[in-house]
Amino acid sequence: MKTDLEILNEGVRTLFDGMDVIDAERFIMLFKRNNFDYTEWQRNLWSDETVESLSRKAQAHWQGKCGDT
């Protein structure tokens, strides 16, 4: 069974994959208005990642979106 944090992380990844950035940010703001502590959640979002691992993932994602290899 997934933890709440895993579900939130998967949801946000899905959100940004399925929406443009502005709509996704607006969606997140709806949570913030309803006492969802986005700032606290964001602090812990990448706690199991290093700068290097995030950089590799970002580069791989960018290359996949742009078709570069």
pLDDT digits (tens, 9 = 90+) for 5-45: 999 899 888 988 999 889 888 888 887 777 777 788 788 88
pLDDT at residue 25, rounded to an integer: 87
Q: Is the pLDDT confidence value at 3 over 90?
A: yes
Verdict on whether the full-model pTM lies above 0.75:
no
pLDDT at residue 68, rounded to an integer: 52
CA distances from 60 to 12, 23, 64 (A): 18, 24, 6
Work out the angle at residue 26's Cα, subtended by the Cα atoms of residues 23 and 18, and round it to the nearest 5 degrees. 35
Domains contained in the chain, number:
1
Distance from chain centroid for Cα 30: 16
Phi/psi at 20 (5° precision):
-75, 165
Domain residue limits at 48: 4-66
